[in-house]
Amino acid sequence: MEETNLTDLIHKKTFNITTFGCQMNEHDSEIMAGMLIEKGYEQTADRSKADIVIFNTCSIRENADKRFFGTLGQLKHRKEEEGDAFTVCVCGCMMQQQHIIDQLKSKYPWVDVVYGTHNLHHLPELLDNLYEEKKKQLEIWDDAEGIVENLPAKRLFKHKSFVNIMYGCNNFCSYCIVPYTRGRERSRRPEDIVSEVRRLTLDGVKEVTLLGQNVNSYKGQSASGEAADFTDLIYMLAEIEGLERIRFMTSHPKDLSDKLIEAFRTCDKLCKYIHLPVQAGSDKVLKEMNRKYTGQSYLELVDKLRRACPDIAISTDIIVGFPGETESDFEDTLNLVRKVGYDSAFTFLYSVRQGTPAAAREDQVPEEVKHERFNRLVEEINSSSAEKNKAYIGRVEKVLVDGVSRNRDNAYEGRTDSFKLVNFEGPEGLEGQIVPVRITGANTFSLVGQLAEE
């Protein structure tokens, strides 16, 4: 019998991946899916029917940890019933922490495969070993051994894609776990990124989002020794035919260069949107967070961005209740938020992360104070978002259509250049296209529109 026929006779194992956390994790999950599909496994959207269940975990806040353990616990019964026929794998940022591994070993010994963020590309091998040796697999490295190129990925969208340009983080903000779970900064070679994006555009991708914890500190070096910074990379990518939009996530204010700000003016393909996490408005808190900028210098950056690109949309991340935050510190945050006028913001209650410097502080802010401040902040942000959105009414915006709307019947949803979510009605077949939409209404979190003439 020929080998191909034999493969067909074997039941194809199905897998399901649940992803917690940020775009890095989402993209890692796309890579895991790509690798498994290449090995002949089949992806399924139904976790309860999958032969292999994978959890890609996040450790950024405590509730992320809790949600994961809660969901994992629900599988114990199935594992007991099905034994070796059912495989449970866990990976991602939580697995880079020893106390989590200890907890898994003691309370969830039935988990089959555990691997860290640096070992992702070994997943097919770990599964082979599990099935051949019938022995649980654990593979965690402290740090990465360089960058693994050319991994396949199963994209969520045909027309847009994430592209990692760098890994890790060197900033050690005093509240944050990421430098411990993702290791030190490593930049990919510019030519590797360019050829990946070229391949993606040949496959129908019109928009790429360049990913890194702090893309502004990208330090690329080509094989021939030529250096490229983040803005150089953007200009290289802008040359690629078929690529229409370039986005990036995330940039640290301390490294936002004049050169990048200028690119918002001169590079048409660079989307007019920046996510610029401020975290807090008080200089005292910013210093203790180890952010290396002040409220004033942040406002100056915003000013420069708006002078270079008056239409630019700006979003941010803010943490409420960092240890030692007083009412007056918090008011500095509110004032900064009012001055900037954000298009949107992600707001977080400070969460103690074991092993980070801020976790050891004794002046933790009481939960009820955090919540009260949080609510005041959200109110401020929402009114700013609603106002920014209202200004779009009457404008015609180019919208990249993602697919059918999740919020409205018989409608599409897509994003403007400035990353505003738009719901609009239109004829069949618009998915993946960039179309003009006249904005007719605005809510706090989205816009409503109608298809306009080209």
Residues 41-100 that bind ligand SAH (CB under 6 A): 60-61
> Is residue 370 a contact residue for ligand SAH (CB under 6 A)?
no
Residues 228-257 that bind ligand SAH (CB under 6 A): 250, 252
Tell me the per-residue interface mask from 252 to 271 with ligand SF4, x by CB under 6 A, - otherwise: x-------------------
DSSP state of 422: E
Residues 6+ apart with CB under 8 A from 232: 190, 220
CA distance 68 to 188: 31
Q: Is the dihedral of CA 288, 289, 295, 296 positive or negative?
A: positive
∠ CA 34-164-355, nearest 5°, is 105
Instruction: Answer yes or no whether residue 172 interacts with ligand SF4 by CB under 6 A.
Output: yes
Residue selected from 15, 21, 415, 432 as contacting ligand F3S according to rule CB under 6 A: 21
The three-state DSSP-derived secondary structure of 99-129 is HHHHHHHHHCCCCCEEECCCCHHHHHHHHHH
Residue 431 identity (one-letter amino acid) = E
Using CB under 6 A as the binding rule, whether residue 169 contacts ligand SF4 is answered as yes
351 counts as binding ligand SAH under rule CB under 6 A: yes
Does position 22 interact with ligand F3S (CB under 6 A)? The reply is: yes
| Strand (E) or helix (H) holding 57 | strand 52-57
- Asked whether 377 and 318 are in contact (CB, 8 A), the reply is yes
286 binds, among ligand SAH, ligand SF4, ligand F3S, none (CB under 5 to 8 A by kind): none
Binders of ligand F3S among residues 412 to 451 (CB under 6 A) are: none
Q: Which one of the spans 106-114, 170-178, 194-202, 218-226 is the region binding ligand SF4 (CB under 6 A)? A: 170-178
Using CB under 6 A as the binding rule, whether residue 348 contacts ligand SAH is answered as: yes
Distance CA 337, CA 332 (A): 9
Residue selected from 165, 173, 197, 377 as contacting ligand SF4 according to rule CB under 6 A: 173
Q: How many helices (H) and strands (E) does the chain have?
A: 14, 21
* Residue 172 touches which of ligand SAH, ligand SF4, ligand F3S, none (Cβ within 5-8 Å per kind): ligand SF4
CA distance 314 to 82: 50
Q: Label residue 290 exposed, middle or buried (CB < 10 Å: 0-12, 13-18, 19+).
A: middle
- Smallest distance, ligand SF4 to C-beta of residue 291, A: 8
Beta strand ranges found along 244-302 (DSSP E): 245-249, 273-275
**How far, in Å, are 41, 75, 139, 282, 413 from residue 50 at the CA level?**
11, 12, 23, 49, 30
Binding flags for ligand F3S, 385-404, as an x/- string (CB under 6 A):
--------------------
Neighbours of 25 (CB within 10 A): 20
Binding site partner of 319, from ligand F3S, ligand SAH, ligand SF4, none, Cβ cut-off 5-8 A by kind: ligand SAH
Q: Answer positive or negative: Cα dihedral of 168, 141, 54, 74.
A: negative
Amino acid at 261: I
Q: Which is nearer to ligand F3S, 59 or 351 (CB)?
A: 59
176 in contact with ligand SAH (CB under 6 A): yes
The interface mask with ligand SAH, positions 265-304, x = CB under 6 A, is ------------x-x-------------------------
Q: Which of ligand SF4, ligand SAH, ligand F3S, none does residue 61 bind to, with CB < 5 to 8 Å depending on kind?
A: ligand SAH
**Positions that interact with ligand SAH (CB under 6 A):** 60-61, 175-176, 178, 213-214, 250, 252, 277, 279, 317, 319, 348, 350-351, 353
**Positions that interact with ligand SF4 (CB under 6 A):** 169, 171-173, 176, 178-179, 213-214, 252
**Positions that interact with ligand F3S (CB under 6 A):** 21-22, 24-25, 58-60, 93, 177-178, 181-182
